[in-house]
């Protein structure tokens, strides 16, 4: 009995997990990236039927598209994503997913799917090399199915760390975002009678969220907010927590002190960054064309100084990895060797990951909503390189780099 108890303790103990923390997964990973990632993980529990259904539908769809494209030219190939279709995940339109939501959404898609399309997708027969519908209709529904595949793949990838994501709800910035975007400050909260009826609910929710940023206690924040509302002390409630909420927001944008590099030389309007020369020559223009092209603003630019450096950035390729840097301000940029460097996704990724080399954090967030039992994620600014694949280098990034590195 003692041996059995010990074995069960190992199975359910945190040390039984493959990682102490969840893997870093970009919010806008493609289905191909998810496919490669799923090969590397082992789920500790059996998949929910809705997750299995979405993964199976997505996999069959992917095989079908591959088969169709074998008989088409590059220009006529079926593509579900491109730089032009990147829309990001705006903070005011967050993505939510759970097995229940995925099941519901799959049902709605199949209900509207043209019969000839659905019959092929749901069957186990050999896939045809031609489409039963026109390209536009196929792509329209294929994107919807593919989106649910990605949600299911993400759920499977992270749900064993649900506790970690539940804790991350304390850093949800949407309350701070709502208050600042709508210019709601102490003055607007001094008399609840003057608050428009339609704004009371969202203001309450926002105040609870900034309280949670500061105290990490949702229940207490909710109770204290109701007391403040009854006593007409919302302004005091706001003042108690707003500063900490602002620090939480800033943490997604500001280069922390321990991530600041000491090897950047700022010469007039050029920032020179050392970089270990790649062993394969074709990666030199790959780095130059992407990084030097991205990190420029008005008359300022960034230049890579290739050479041999003990503590300088280097490019590493490994199969089936989610691209990442070993730490903010780190030196190891790890890329997926299975992804062609000519692809848009690879080109965006090296630009974004180099931002981490400079110490810039990700400006997107994901957490588990215990109340609604769903995962939630969003990007703070879909035009920002560090937030979204739809984003670019901008003035915000330039000013942060200038503040930290210009001497």
pLDDT digits (tens, 9 = 90+) for 15-72: 334 446 788 899 999 898 899 889 888 766 789 999 999 999 999 999 999 999 999 9
pLDDT digits (tens, 9 = 90+) for 243-297: 999 999 999 999 999 999 999 999 989 999 999 999 999 999 999 999 999 999 9
183 and 234 co-located in one domain: yes
265 and 285 co-located in one domain: yes
Average pLDDT, integer, range 160-167: 96
What is the Cα–Cα distance from 297 to 268, expressed in whole angstroms?
A: 14
Q: What are the residues facing 336 on neighbouring strands? A: 318
> Domain end: 128, 162, 196, which one?
162
pTM for this predicted structure = 0.90
What pLDDT shows up at residue 340? 82
Q: Is the pLDDT of residue 2 over 70?
A: no
> Domain end: 216, 250, 284, which one?
250
Residue 167 lies in a domain: no
Average pLDDT, the chain: 91
What pLDDT shows up at residue 19? 46
Residue 385 lies in a domain: no
Residue 239 lies in a domain: yes
Q: Is the pLDDT of residue 240 over 50?
A: yes
Residue 222 domain boundaries: 174-250
200 and 270 co-located in one domain: no
Q: What are the residues facing 247 on neighbouring strands? A: none
66 and 34 co-located in one domain: yes
What pLDDT shows up at residue 18? 41
Percent of residues, the chain, with pLDDT higher than 70: 94
Question: Which residue, 215, 202, 210, 212, is CA-closest to 243?
Answer: 210
Q: Is the pLDDT of residue 7 over 50?
A: no
∠ CA 94-95-99, nearest 5°, is 145
Question: Counting every residue, how long is the chain?
Answer: 407
Q: Token digits for 307? A: 């050479």
89 and 112 co-located in one domain: yes
What pLDDT shows up at residue 320? 81
Q: Is the pLDDT of residue 111 over 70?
A: yes
Split into its structural domains, the chain has a count of 3
Q: Is the pLDDT of residue 156 over 50?
A: yes
Q: Report the CATH number at residue 268.
A: 3.40.390
77 and 99 co-located in one domain: yes
Average pLDDT, integer, range 217-242: 98
Q: Token digits for 298? A: 């008005």
Residue 292 lies in a domain: yes
What pLDDT shows up at residue 9? 37
Question: Residue 283: which region, alpha, beta or left (left: phi > 0; alpha: psi -120 to 50)?
Answer: alpha
Residue 392 lies in a domain: no
pLDDT digits (tens, 9 = 90+) for 85-94: 677 999 999 9
What pLDDT shows up at residue 305? 97
pLDDT band at 82 (very low <50, low <70, confident <90, very high): low
Q: Say if CB 312 and CB 274 are below 8 A apart.
A: yes
DSSP string, 303-369: EEEEE--TTS-EEEEETT---EESSTT-SEEEEETTS-TTSHHHHHHHHHHHHHHTTPPP-EEEEEE
What pLDDT shows up at residue 8? 38
Average pLDDT, integer, range 129-134: 94
Q: Which region among 11-20, 39-48, 151-160, 233-242 has the lowest average model confidence (pLDDT)?
A: 11-20
104: Cα separation from own chain's centroid: 23
Q: Is the pLDDT of residue 5 over 60?
A: no
Q: How does DSSP classify residue 160?
A: G
Residue 111 lies in a domain: yes
- Evaluate the CA torsion angle 206, 212, 213, 215 in order and state its sign: positive
Residue 210 lies in a domain: yes
Q: Is the pLDDT of residue 353 over 70?
A: yes
82 and 131 co-located in one domain: yes
223 and 333 co-located in one domain: no
Per the model's pLDDT, the better-predicted residue between 120 and 339 turns out to be: 120
């Amino acid at each position: 009995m003692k041996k059995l108890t010990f074995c069960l303790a190992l199975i359910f103990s945190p040390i039984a997990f493959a990682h102490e923390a969840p893997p870093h997964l970009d919010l806008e990973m493609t289905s191909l990236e998810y496919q490669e990632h799923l090969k590397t993980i082992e789920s500790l529990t059996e998949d929910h039927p809705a997750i299995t259904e979405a993964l199976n539908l997505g996999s069959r769809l992917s095989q079908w598209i591959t088969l169709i494209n074998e008989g088409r030219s590059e220009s006529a190939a079926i593509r579900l994503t491109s730089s032009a279709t990147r829309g990001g995940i705006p903070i005011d339109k967050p993505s939510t997913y759970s097995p229940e939501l995925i099941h519901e959404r799959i049902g709605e898609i199949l209900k509207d799917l043209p019969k000839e399309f659905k019959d092929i997708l749901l069957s186990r027969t050999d896939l045809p090399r031609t489409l039963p519908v026109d390209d536009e209709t196929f792509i329209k529904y294929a994107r919807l199915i593919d989106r649910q595949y990605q949600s299911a793949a993400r759920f499977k990838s992270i749900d064993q760390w649900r506790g970690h994501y539940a804790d991350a709800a304390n850093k949800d910035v949407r309350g701070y975002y709502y208050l600042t975007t709508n210019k709601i400050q102490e003055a607007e909260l001094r008399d609840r009678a003057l608050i428009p009826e339609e704004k009371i609910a969202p203001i309450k929710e926002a105040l609870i969220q900034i309280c949670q940023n500061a105290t990490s206690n949702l229940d207490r924040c909710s109770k204290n907010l109701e007391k403040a509302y009854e006593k007409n002390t919302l302004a005091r409630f706001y003042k108690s927590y707003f500063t900490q909420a602002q620090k939480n927001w800033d943490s997604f944008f500001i280069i922390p002190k321990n991530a600041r590099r000491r090897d950047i030389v700022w010469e007039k309007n050029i920032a020179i960054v050392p970089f270990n020369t790649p062993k394969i020559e074709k990666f030199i223009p790959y780095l130059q064309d992407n990084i030097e092209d991205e990190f420029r603003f008005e008359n300022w630019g960034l230049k890579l100084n290739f050479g041999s450096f003990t503590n300088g950035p280097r490019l590493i390729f490994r199969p089936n990895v989610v691209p990442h840097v070993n730490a903010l301000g780190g030196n190891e940029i790890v890329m997926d060797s299975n992804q062609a460097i000519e692809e848009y996704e690879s080109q965006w990724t090296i630009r974004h990951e180099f931002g981490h080399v400079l110490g810039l954090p990700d400006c997107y967030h994901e957490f588990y909503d215990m109340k609604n039992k769903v995962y939630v994620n969003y990007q703070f600014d879909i035009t920002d390189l560090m937030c979204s694949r739809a984003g670019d280098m901008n003035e915000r990034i330039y000013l942060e780099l200038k503040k930290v590195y210009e001497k």
